Chains A and B, each alone.
Chain A
Amino acid sequence: MGTNLKNILSEKRPAILDRWVDHILDTYPSDTASFMRDKKSRFANPVGHSISAGVEGIFEALLQGIVQEQVSVFLDNIIRIRAIQDFTPSQAISFVFFLKKIIRDELAGEIRENSLADELMLLEDQIDSLGLLAFDIFMRCREKLYDIKANETRSMTFRLLQKANLICEKPGEEPDVPDSNSE
């Protein structure tokens, strides 16, 4: 196996992924982070599971070459959760950028010895592009949330008008606010 960056990343994959997951879980209160780390059932611990499965998928995409539709699914699984949790927008998507520091720390020696700084820069560009994609996904989640709120409020207002006999259309004919998750 040659000493290019992707080969080294492949070899160090378990260590990198462990650190990445740990770093993301540390964004939760410590009791919660331990629960999410220890509980392995995907149904008892959907957040922990989505994070560990998600980062694996994202890492694999970085190694194999990013196909936006495929990597979006893994990003979405994590971001859809963080978009409704107690995070600011930057905190919700910052996990993508954690990977840069983890790779630099984990592979510092190898990068120096094998003069892989150029490859590292290219990889970091790819991580940056994932960051931008993450921002789009975050916004789609938030817009979806606002659509749901708006539609509930609209249909409630509609029902009040209907109750007061001010309009007579059936609720089923009321158009919803267009869907913002158009994918």
Chain B
Amino acid sequence: MAKGPNKEELSKLDYTLPSTEWMDTPVEFKPGTFCWGAKGKNLQTVEFPNARDWTPVEDDWKLPQEWEGTVLEAMADRLSKYRSFKLFMDICVRCGACADKCHFYIGSGDPKNMPVLRAELMRSVYRKYFTTPGKILGRLAGARELNVDVLKEWWYYFFQCTECRRCSVFCPYGIDQAEITMMGREFLNLLGLNTDWISGPVANCYMKGNHLGLEPHAIMNSIEGMIDDIETITGIRINPSFNRKGAEILFVTPSGDLFADPGTFTAMGYMMLFHELGLDYTWSTYASEGGNFGFFTSNEMAKRLNAKIYAEAKRLGVKYIIGGECGHMWRVLTQYMDTWNGPADFLEVPVSPITGTRFENSKSIKMIHVAEFTADLIKHGKLKLDPSRNDNLKLTYHDSCNVARGMGMMEEPRYIIKNVCNNFYEMPEDTIREKTFCCGSGTGLNASENMELRMRGGLPRANAVKYVHEKHGVNMLANICAIDRATLKASMEYWVPQVSVTGLHELVANALIMTGEKERETNLRGEPLPGKEGN
């Protein structure tokens, strides 16, 4: 049996990192910090190269012959195609403004999680093969060769970035680390090096329209279960339609809302609101996913998965699309869909049938976020609301990175919350709005096997929640992102177990006074409403 250190030895242990330079310190794959490797069958489904089963901890990653050439060719191609990528490789002056802004660096203390150094993992290779000083001077010019150790380091750290873009807010040049991570993942995917947690949903989505691989009957069953619950709580039977041609609006939401709490309560919220408005909308069992794990894989894969949304809108002949509460979905749909799958010239500029508001901001993509739709309803006094039904809650609001920092939607959710809840407390200024901290598990890092990593990345956000919990007694964390609803639940359980997680429209539906409803005894979770605890 190995001899353990005695007390004296233990108190003198040296915890400093090895003295080798960062370039010469290969990654050690420690359990809890990485996701399982992609399975061959899932890569095969989307016709990705080098489809085979592999394991990150094994020495042999079963790489294809001449893999270095594949990566370098792809790098040359993207450098010529994307001016931004070329700039981000060239213009960093290593000022360090980004270094301590990353939630993974703050939570892990691992210097390779500083955005500047994470980018340097790729820049060093770029210099070696694409710049004259790098070719001639090598290491002196901060250049290094691409080899298996470097590739493994890329894989490890580009799957330790959630593309949240907080660092880019602080970069004086506006270097977008998310784009560097995207490129890194795109190159890795050319060698069959995705994670299982991303490639599984991608294959599911490609074959069945959603990440969970739900077939039409499963989607309808799930929604019918929610309808039963709504009837029990409100006495009102809702009859949503599926794949209905001629509906005015197509509603698309992340499939996570259909199968996992607390997302299911959010989905019940959408349906109650739409029913009360008498909205002419339809669900689709084909365009049954708003999220896009292809976005965490490669540009091309994201485009392929997203194509179904406009295709379904065209097939059904709707006028426009409403999107449910989702983070990266909103950024993808707003910033990418038009150029990938557009123009959506068969759709109309969204006009709220209730208020007449014309959403000029969506003139091009013809799709609006449910939060702006609902905020507009409240602004025009179209909803009867009883916020006291949420009086058991002391709320704070987490700005999802893609919706807030990415798309600037910061006021609408807050406006809604203030109208449906009486107790709302903001987290400290540097942790919200455009400076919001990531949940720590976005971009497909929400697997279970990397839980230590998720908790490290989730620490800065949870730390701010803990502060408002201790100061104001906050017990509920609201957000408008399906990944947040899934991952913040775990983060809160570990860091601040007194705080639960909710979507926005769960709160709306609890406060919404519906025409013909019975006296409600419980909220959507089946818990007694404030004042009804003794019943």
Q: Which of A's residues lie within 8 Å of B, judged by CB?
A: 26-32, 35-36, 39, 41-47, 80-81, 84-87, 90-91, 94, 97-98, 100-101, 141, 144-145, 147-149, 152-153, 155-156, 159, 162-163, 165, 170-172, 181
Asked if residues A163 and B100 are in contact (CB atoms below 8 Å), the reply is no
B290 at the interface (CB under 8 A from A): no
> Among B10, B109, B431, B526, which residue has the most Cβ atoms of chain A within 10 A?
B109
How many Å from the CB of A46 to the closest CB on chain B?
4
> Among A28, A31, A141, A144, which residue has the most Cβ atoms of chain B within 10 A?
A31
Asked if residues A152 and B448 are in contact (CB atoms below 8 Å), the reply is yes
Given contacts A145-B451, A148-B494, A171-B260, contact A47 B218 (CB under 8 A): no
- Give residues of chain B (449-477) contacting chain A, Cβ–Cβ below 8 Å: 449, 451-452, 455-456, 459-460, 463-464, 467
Contact of A98 among B11, B456, B464, B490 (CB under 8 A): B11
Assembly CA distance A148 to B203 (angstroms): 26
Contact of A145 among B33, B455, B460 (CB under 8 A): B455
Contact of B109 among A41, A85, A148 (CB under 8 A): A85
- Give residues of chain B (429-454) contacting chain A, Cβ–Cβ below 8 Å: 430-431, 448-449, 451-452
Asked if residues A172 and B526 are in contact (CB atoms below 8 Å), the reply is yes
Contact of B5 among A47, A90, A100 (CB under 8 A): A90
B58 at the interface (CB under 8 A from A): no
Assembly CA distance A73 to B114 (angstroms): 30
Q: Which of B's residues lie within 8 Å of A, judged by CB?
A: 4-5, 7, 10-11, 13, 15-17, 30, 32-33, 99-100, 105-111, 114, 212-215, 217-218, 221, 225, 259-261, 264, 428, 430-431, 448-449, 451-452, 455-456, 459-460, 463-464, 467, 490, 493-495, 497, 525-526
Assembly CA distance A36 to B108 (angstroms): 12
- Would you list 11 pairs from A and B whose C-beta atoms are within 8 A, ordered by A residue? A26-B16, A43-B430, A43-B460, A47-B107, A81-B107, A81-B459, A97-B7, A97-B11, A98-B11, A148-B493, A159-B260
Assembly CA distance A46 to B464 (angstroms): 9
Assembly CA distance A171 to B33 (angstroms): 28
Assembly CA distance A156 to B200 (angstroms): 13
Assembly CA distance A43 to B436 (angstroms): 11
Q: Chain A interface secondary structure, helix, strand, loop or mixed?
A: helix
Other A-B pairs beyond A41-B430, A47-B459, A153-B448, 11, CB < 8 Å:
A28-B15, A29-B16, A29-B111, A84-B455, A85-B456, A86-B108, A86-B109, A100-B11, A144-B493, A163-B218, A172-B525
Asked if residues A32 and B109 are in contact (CB atoms below 8 Å), the reply is yes
Assembly CA distance A155 to B448 (angstroms): 11
Closest-by-CB residue of A relative to B460 is: A46
CB-CB < 8 A to A152: which residues of B? 448, 490
How many Å from the CB of A106 to the closest CB on chain B?
15
Asked if residues A144 and B494 are in contact (CB atoms below 8 Å), the reply is yes
Asked if residues B225 and A145 are in contact (CB atoms below 8 Å), the reply is no
Asked if residues B10 and A90 are in contact (CB atoms below 8 Å), the reply is yes
How many Å from the CB of B291 to the closest CB on chain A?
16
Assembly CA distance A19 to B382 (angstroms): 62
Contact of B495 among A31, A80, A101, A147 (CB under 8 A): A80
Closest-by-CB residue of A relative to B8 is: A101
Closest-by-CB residue of A relative to B103 is: A46
How many Å from the CB of A87 to the closest CB on chain B?
8
How many Å from the CB of A107 to the closest CB on chain B?
16
The 3 closest A-B pairs by CB, nearest first: A27-B15, A46-B463, A32-B109
How many Å from the CB of A31 to the closest CB on chain B?
5
How many Å from the CB of A17 to the closest CB on chain B?
18
Contact of A29 among B109, B213, B455, B525 (CB under 8 A): B109
Assembly CA distance A28 to B213 (angstroms): 43
How many Å from the CB of B258 to the closest CB on chain A?
10
Closest-by-CB residue of B relative to A146 is: B451
Asked if residues B16 and A43 are in contact (CB atoms below 8 Å), the reply is no
Assembly CA distance A159 to B16 (angstroms): 44
How many Å from the CB of B23 to the closest CB on chain A?
15
Contact of A148 among B218, B221, B451 (CB under 8 A): B451
CB-CB < 8 A to A171: which residues of B? 259-261, 264
Asked if residues A155 and B260 are in contact (CB atoms below 8 Å), the reply is yes
Asked if residues B109 and A84 are in contact (CB atoms below 8 Å), the reply is no
CB-CB < 8 A to A41: which residues of B? 430
> Among A145, A162, A165, which residue has the most Cβ atoms of chain B within 10 A?
A145
